[in-house]
Amino acid sequence: MSWSKFRVTKIRRRPDLARRASAMCAGLGWVERASWVSPAPSRSSRSPMPPAGQETAIRDAVAWLDCWRVDDHGWPDHATGRELADGATPTRHGRRTAWCYGAPGIARSLLHAARALDDNALAEAARADLVELVELDAQQAAWDTEGPTLCHGYAGVLRCATGVDHDMAEHAAAQLTQSLDCERPFLVTHVEHGNSHDNPGFLTGAAGVALTLSELAELPARSATTPWDAMLLIA
């Protein structure tokens, strides 16, 4: 059994950790992804009459993201007003392995766009962005993920990779479960620029980690029309 599988199994067999994870759910938050493409079912299961202009808007968003690539599998962390006005693509990289402003979050948004457009080529390109990060890990190149939380931590990477890339999800799950500390008031801490904080919140705190761990541990939950990570636009 791999180390990551051992850690995941250990969580599933620890009802005390599962209960602690459930108790951590203390807040919710909202954030917009760069592509702003909302989750959509496949064309075959959608209404035959989508909103006017929806497909054009999605394609425009995909094209905009593609124009801002720094290289084959990366984007800048932000675009300044001057860069937007000039149309100049920055050469800097943002954080590569994070949901908030890295390849995992953008790739997951592109996968949703591909599903809405029935665009297999776009889906393959988005998956390639995630595979590139797995290869960086295999080459022992450091991931720049920081801490366990959703925003720029391993919980966010795990949610982006789940159901898309097994190896990436396994690595993120192993790192996430290793961060659990029963001595902390919320079991985990949020890490920002090397500093740790006890935070019960959703995006940069224990609530988001708890929701991620709840799915990891396959805890029973009430059925919901919209999954909780739809707020991250990755569901």
pLDDT tens for the chain, residues 1 to 235: 343 343 444 444 444 444 444 333 322 222 233 333 344 444 444 455 667 888 999 999 999 888 888 776 678 877 788 888 887 777 666 667 889 888 889 899 999 999 999 999 999 999 988 888 877 765 555 688 889 999 999 999 999 988 888 888 888 999 898 988 999 999 999 998 889 999 999 999 999 999 998 887 778 777 878 888 888 888 7
d(CA 4, CA 85): 46
pLDDT at 82: 84
* Long-range residue pairs from 8-17, CB within 8 A, at least 24 positions apart, any chain: 8/173, 8/174, 8/177, 8/216, 10/177, 11/177, 11/180, 11/213, 11/216, 11/217, 12/216, 12/217, 12/218, 17/180, 17/187, 17/213, 17/217
pLDDT at 232: 87
pTM of the model: 0.74
Strand partners, 74: 71
pLDDT at 137: 62
pLDDT at 93: 65
d(CA 89, CA 198): 37
